[in-house]
Amino acid sequence: MIRSMTGYGRGEASGARLVVTAECKSLNHRTLDVAMRLPRSMTELELEARKLVQGALTRGRVEVSVSTAAAVESARHALSVDLVQAKEYDAAARRLGAELGIAGEPTLEWLLAQPGVLSREEPSEAGPDAAPDEAMAEQGTLLREALRRALDELVARREAEGRALAAELRALLAGLDVHVQSMVARAPEAQARRAARLRERVQTLLGGAALDEARVAQEIALLADRGDITEELARLRTHLAEFARHLDAGGAVGRPLDFLIQEINREVNTAGSKADDLELSQAAIAAKSALEKLREQVQNLE
């Protein structure tokens, strides 16, 4: 299965006291580059989280963001009343009323509105009643579960986009092959025409001078061979077949395909520069245009 390098995944895992949410976003990159943002309490789990990402992906700039929240059950018990402060506010209000001669007593609504009387404590990631070891164990379990779910979704989206990219690459490869086959078909005739032109030039330069015809033919053949692109075309066809084989095999093909494109480009450039023929040159230019489109799409593959 071929994957793209772009995608997004989100996963969530819930415990009795904690909810962990992991989000993964990936972009194009030559290697695997992981940027990890974890809550401070999970810093010790960063290495394990990175290994999970590295086990699921091979290329791409991957941004991982993890957040935590108290579970509903834990949040219900986080509300507390400070009775000591409430009594102090009540006593102070009564004394002030007596000194100022103002009738009335503090109401419950007034007491609850005073600073510090009613508060909701922020629970720790594993709950206020959990021991440190228990808290870390729960965090680790939930982080792994949430991150695996996020990575599974990310991989699924990358594979879906990869299937679309593979189809487009096959179409572009077929177009490139058409131009290469045009070069293959034209090469013998172009070579013969080059040799004929060289012979005419030699004859024009020599005029009626008597020379060894065999020697002249040998020199013309040597000059014509300098424009022979048979080897370049043979390597081109080999590279195209290898490109198609990688597409069919699937997996992490981005790097080998990128290398093959460089090799194909080298052979096309060489063939184009050696070809002393208009149709061959035009086919080489068209091949380079198709190759550039292939290169652009390959940059998106894992």
The CATH number for 229's domain is 1.20.140
- Residue 192: inside a domain: yes
Provide the residue range defining the domain that includes 178.
Answer: 162-298
Same domain, 61 and 153: yes
Range name among 159-163, 182-186, 214-218 with the lowest pLDDT average = 214-218
Same domain, 227 and 145: no
Same domain, 12 and 115: no
- Residue 212: inside a domain: yes
* pLDDT given at position 128: 45
Cβ contact 5:31 at 8 Å: no
**Mind listing the pLDDT tens digit for each residue in 36-72?**
999 998 999 999 999 999 999 999 999 999 999 887 6
The CATH number for 56's domain is 3.30.230
Quote the distance between the C-alpha of residue 202 and its chain's center: 59
Range 190-211 average pLDDT: 67
Same domain, 141 and 33: yes
Same domain, 142 and 113: no
Strands (E) in 38-155, as ranges, are 60-70, 79-81, 118-120
β-strand 79-81 against 118-120: which pairing, if any? antiparallel
Residue type, 31: T
Our count of domains for the chain comes to 3
pLDDT at residue 222 tops 70:
no
Q: What is the pTM of this model?
A: 0.68
Same domain, 153 and 179: no
